Structure 1
Amino acid sequence: MAEPTSFTSDAIRSFAALGDSFTEGVGDPGRDGHFVGWADRLAVLLDDRVPEHSFRYANLAVRGKLLDQIVADQVPRARELAPDLVTFCAGGNDIIRPGTDPDDVAERFERAVADLSSAVGTVMVTTGFDTRDVPVLKRLRGKIATYNGHVRAVADRYGCPVLDLWSLKTVQDRRAWDGDRLHLSPEGHTRVALRAAQVLGLEVPADPDQPWPPEPPRGTLDLRRDDIHWAREYLVPWIGRRLRGESSGDHIEAKRPDLLPIQDTE
């Protein structure tokens, strides 16, 4: 078992983000056709602490990827880059698939964390969200909670800071989510970035736990119309891709495969 890692945010001069659509930033569109997302926003907060713009950032995440694909495609590149910080969010797409065993996924997750920890400065791991109010995924809440317990245990064994999304209650508001109800909205990504910065010991410009402003009540008919629209626009195509064995990440490349100054993300 690895010794706990000690770190300060001042020591972080380079950062690589690994994962799937969540870390790629799906739901948070940018000006250049790429997604922004919480990891890009965290990189900006880290860059603000480094003089002379010497901070460098890579984002290797690709939507739709399963844990083994992330391990095969992204972990070796992260080891090669050897940044001061890696964020590793993986396994979520495995957990939501029928028949997967969270214990088995967690064993493979731990092997990847061990591999990363031997080559990079600090590995920050991420739990899954609390899905109790998410259509379709709320039935998987217990499975996600089991996997989260494993992620926390792995973090303890390898001295990894934990970005705990289950406890971030403000992202349970519907306004934190994109229209597909599977990915965060820009505001949701912003709140996650702020929480990640807090985990790393940074002072943040806003509180990710700040309550949302009151929202006008919505009638049952409006909610039902939203559900029908969501099912047609997002749920049916998602099921179709699963039946065809396709992924939203097929033929998609990492948006930022090299460690570069943060200005190159703007």
Structure 2
Amino acid sequence: MDPGRFVALGDSFTEGVGDPHLHHPNGLRGWADRMARQLGRLDPRWEYANLALRSKRIDQVVAEQLPAALALRPTVATFFAGGNDLLAVRSDVDPVLGRFDEVVGALAGSGATVVVFTAFDPRTGPLLEPLLRRVRLFNHGVRDISDEHDVLLVDHARLREYDDPRLWAVDRLHMNRWGHKRMAASVLRTLGLDHTLRLRTLEHPPPRTPLRRAVREEAAFVRGEVLPLLRRRVTGRSEGDLAAPKWPEPVRPAEGLKRLARTRGHAEAPVG
């Protein structure tokens, strides 16, 4: 693949929540920054912009990020959004997929090589089954959209190594450092590009949690993480309303993202 301009759109998944780093913008690194750095190592002419912001729903991504992304004329564009819509107390999957299709169609129509993602489908207990039914419907639709527009798909739901809790942050909604590294490697592999990322070895999975303990932990997770998240959805509070995109203007990752962040005064305390 010839060097060009990589533009990333979406929500916390692409902003990098779960992978804190003091010297990256918004205090986050994430798979897209890691992928951009690899592109810069492959060829210093690669450029990179990241418009993604945590908590954004798909309508907000369409309104706030899609026009800016198209104006940047990407040669490679990655897109994932809709997860925050699925977490809403009342959520209809069909309109979310309609907007997803709109974004993919616009990006593909621009001539960019487009990469989209399914949402991860955790093998979890019955407490989250209503949400997981929506996730599965959404993922089925995303696969159809990727086929219709002939774009590349990273099927996160079928990357079953992510069943391992060692790839997830405490909130179990966002990947941690090791999870983001693996995602960067997956996207690069999907694009047919090499990488030098060191991935955590997972040959020795953690022992199975006894059933009673697993049920207690699941209930505690819902109380401590899921319910507060749902309350924020009901009240309309959004962390993304207080943040700015990490890399709104193209940069050259070969120059070093940490150095670029320091030069521009972008690095902040970690979030998420």
Tell me whether the two structures share a fold, i.e. TM-score over 0.5: yes
Specify the SS of the correspondent of 1:48: helix
Aligned residue number for residue 39 of structure 1: 32
Q: Is the 8 A contact 2:88 2:233 kept in 1?
A: no
Q: Is the 8 A contact 1:11 1:84 kept in 2?
A: no
Normalising to structure 2: TM-score of the pair?
Answer: 0.84
Counterpart residue type for residue 256 of structure 1: W
Aligned residue number for residue 108 of structure 1: 99
Q: Per the alignment, do residues 79 and 134 of structure 1 end up closer, same or farther by CA in structure 2, a change over 3 Å counting?
A: farther
Counterpart residue type for residue 34 of structure 1: G
Aligned-partner Cα distance in 2 for 1:173–1:232: 22
Shift of the alpha carbon at 1:173?
A: 0.9
Aligned residue number for residue 28 of structure 1: 19
Aligned-partner Cα distance in 1 for 2:177–2:219: 23
Counterpart residue type for residue 231 of structure 2: G
Which one of 240, 254, 265 corresponds to residue 257 of structure 2? 265
Aligned residue number for residue 79 of structure 1: 70
Counterpart residue type for residue 87 of structure 2: I
Aligned residue number for residue 138 of structure 2: 147
Aligned residue number for residue 185 of structure 1: 176
Aligned residue number for residue 126 of structure 1: 117
Shift of the alpha carbon at 1:135?
A: 8.2
Normalising to structure 1: TM-score of the pair?
Answer: 0.85
Aligned residue number for residue 153 of structure 2: 162
Shift of the alpha carbon at 1:150?
A: 1.3
Q: Is the 8 A contact 1:22 1:183 kept in 2?
A: yes
Higher RCO (CA < 8 A, seq sep 6+): 2
Counterpart residue type for residue 48 of structure 1: R
Is structure 2 residue 241 aligned with structure 1 residue 250?
yes
Is structure 2 residue 53 aligned with structure 1 residue 62?
yes
Q: Per the alignment, do residues 169 and 103 of structure 1 end up closer, same or farther by CA in structure 2, a change over 3 Å counting?
A: same
Shift of the alpha carbon at 1:101?
A: 2.0
Aligned-partner Cα distance in 1 for 2:145–2:214: 40
Aligned-partner Cα distance in 1 for 2:139–2:199: 21
Q: Is the 8 A contact 2:125 2:218 kept in 1?
A: no
Larger deviation, residues 170-179 vs 41-50: 41-50
Listed as ranges, the gaps of 5+ residues in structure 1 are 1-9
The size of the alignment, in residue pairs, is: 255
Q: Per the alignment, do residues 22 and 244 of structure 1 end up closer, same or farther by CA in structure 2, a change over 3 Å counting?
A: same
Q: Per the alignment, do residues 167 and 12 of structure 1 end up closer, same or farther by CA in structure 2, a change over 3 Å counting?
A: farther
Aligned-partner Cα distance in 2 for 1:71–1:126: 16
Which one of 200, 203, 222 corresponds to residue 194 of structure 2? 203
Counterpart residue type for residue 186 of structure 1: R
Q: Is the 8 A contact 1:13 1:84 kept in 2?
A: yes
Specify the SS of the correspondent of 1:93: helix
Identity, % of aligned positions? 37
Q: Is the 8 A contact 2:178 2:200 kept in 1?
A: no
Q: Is the 8 A contact 2:5 2:74 kept in 1?
A: yes
Aligned-partner Cα distance in 1 for 2:223–2:91: 27
Q: Is the 8 A contact 1:127 1:163 kept in 2?
A: yes
Listed as ranges, the gaps of 5+ residues in structure 2 are 259-272
